Structure 1
Amino acid sequence: MITGIVPDWLTRRPIAHRGLHGASHVENTLGAVEAAIEAGYAIEVDLQLTADGGLVITHDSTLDRMTNATGRVADRTLDELRAITITGSDETFSSITDLLALTSGRSPLFLEAKAPVHPAAKAAMTSAITRALSEYGGAAAVMTFDPDLLALLRKALPDTPLGILAGGEEHGSLVSRFGRDMLLHTPRTRPDFVSYYATALPHPGPSIARRRGRPVLAWTVRSPMEAKRLAPYVDQIIFEDFRP
């Protein structure tokens, strides 16, 4: 390992994708987070940057799928988003502060930072994540698909486990996709772990990383059969649709 940050909690428990959601709880809500904690799982949630530099828990860059509102998440302030009810739930959008207050170290958190496009927004997201985690005493890791954002996070959070997500991406040129899939940015970004697309495994990129001491997680695993197939290639799974 380059940074030496490989805490044992990183791979100790299966990780509930967007919280433990389904019939009872909607994805990326505090209810889904609490359900995962009660079931003994680690938790993965997504973070989007708001118009005022806050961080809201949601996967999509727009409001259309999850609410009756429309438009981009990045065009709303955190307070505006907190007033929007999530479809199928009585909850509204929650902030990273809400998440950390609820979790309070009871279960490991894997925060997937959905990287903005512009460099200034990436810097703002890095600052927001750093502020939020500065006083949090629980286990928390940050991961992203974006090598540039990961490089910023590496400088800002030297003591936090940081991971790169890869595999399954379709945007960009063939050369850039190959570089991301093979994790060729590693000397610059120095990830502590790799989270790789389940259906793309096994793959040389994460296999090399694993041999070099970086744990490999698989996302998103949706059945016991898939978990069994992946067991030789990964150290833990990010799951949904079943309970490992």
Structure 2
Amino acid sequence: MNHKDIAWLTARPIAHRGFHKASDGIIENCTQAFDAAIAHNFAIELDVQVTADGKAAVFHDYSLERLTEGTGRIDEKTLADLAEVPFKQTSDLIMDLKALVDHIDGRVPLVIELKPPKIEDGRLEQAVCAALEGYTGKAALMCFSPQSVARLKSLTDRPRGILSLDYSKSKAEEDLGKADPYALTHMLHVMETEPDFISYNAADLPMPGVDLLKAIYDLPVICWTIKSPESQKNALQHCDQVTFEGYNPDKMT
């Protein structure tokens, strides 16, 4: 495996979908949440999905209902359609990834989670890499799908990470199809995917597969999603950095 210099990935806590706080009208994956993270010099984790016209939209849920006044699936809408959909609690609009990276302008690192459609066709990976073309800021890509992480090898030199968890006790197991839960849990696809880092569910750490890959390949390990200072202290016994929300890691007591 080729080692990339990604010390920046673990240098600062990573704000989960930005430094959001819904009670203050700062909604996840929105401009205000990203600006708040920048103001505190936190790295930013964000989610992207492919639109009907092959663009990368910054949004977590596969459907619009939870956070917006719209309905329907992200992948059924064009980018222009999404630009007209108001959020319920903020004047911010759904961003496309190109607009986001232009806005961030390298001020903090980005950790971008790709959320492929159920039938993966490569359009999301292509859209993300196109949006990042020419961007000189620090940005890493990650996904739960080993196929997506492997596909990115031929598309980008940016750091690629595998997201994982203990699939044996996850509700996600019902969506695995023919995939082997044990292989996914312990990332036995590593020779195919060749990840540069691991992002693992903190509740499932420590995990033998994670420890083994870290020992053999010296892979950085980040975890998700930490929601309290106490949980952060516990998590950092098993990983190199946390993805957090709901508190300020710089004000831990």
Unaligned runs of 5+ in 1: none
1:165 aligns with 2:170: no
> Which residue number in structure 2 is paired with residue 241 of structure 1?
246
Alignment of 1:71-220 (within 5 A): 71-120=72-121, 123-157=122-156, 159-168=157-166, 169=170, 170-171=172-173, 172=176, 176-211=180-215, 212-220=217-225
> Residue deviations 1:133-155, cap 9 Å, x none?
11100000000000001111111
Amino acid at match of 1:201: L
* Distance in structure 2 (CA, Å) of the matches to 1:119 and 1:42: 28
Contact 2:98 2:132 in 1 (8 A): no
Unaligned runs of 5+ in 2: none
TM-score (norm 2): 0.92
Percentage of matched positions with identical amino acids:
36
* Distance in structure 2 (CA, Å) of the matches to 1:173 and 1:98: 35
Alignment of 1:1-80 (within 5 A): 2-22=1-21, 23-24=23-24, 25-80=26-81
Displacement after TM superposition at 1:175 (Å): 6.5
Displacement after TM superposition at 1:119 (Å): 3.4
Contact 1:115 1:145 in 2 (8 A): no
- Comparing 38-47 with 168-177, which one deviates more in the overlay? 168-177
* Distance in structure 2 (CA, Å) of the matches to 1:132 and 1:203: 34
Alpha carbon RMSD of aligned pairs, Å? 1.3
* Distance in structure 1 (CA, Å) of the matches to 2:58 and 2:120: 21
Secondary structure class of the residue paired with 1:4: coil
Number of equivalenced pairs: 240
Contact 1:6 1:192 in 2 (8 A): no
Displacement after TM superposition at 1:230 (Å): 1.4
> Which residue number in structure 2 is paired with residue 225 of structure 1?
230
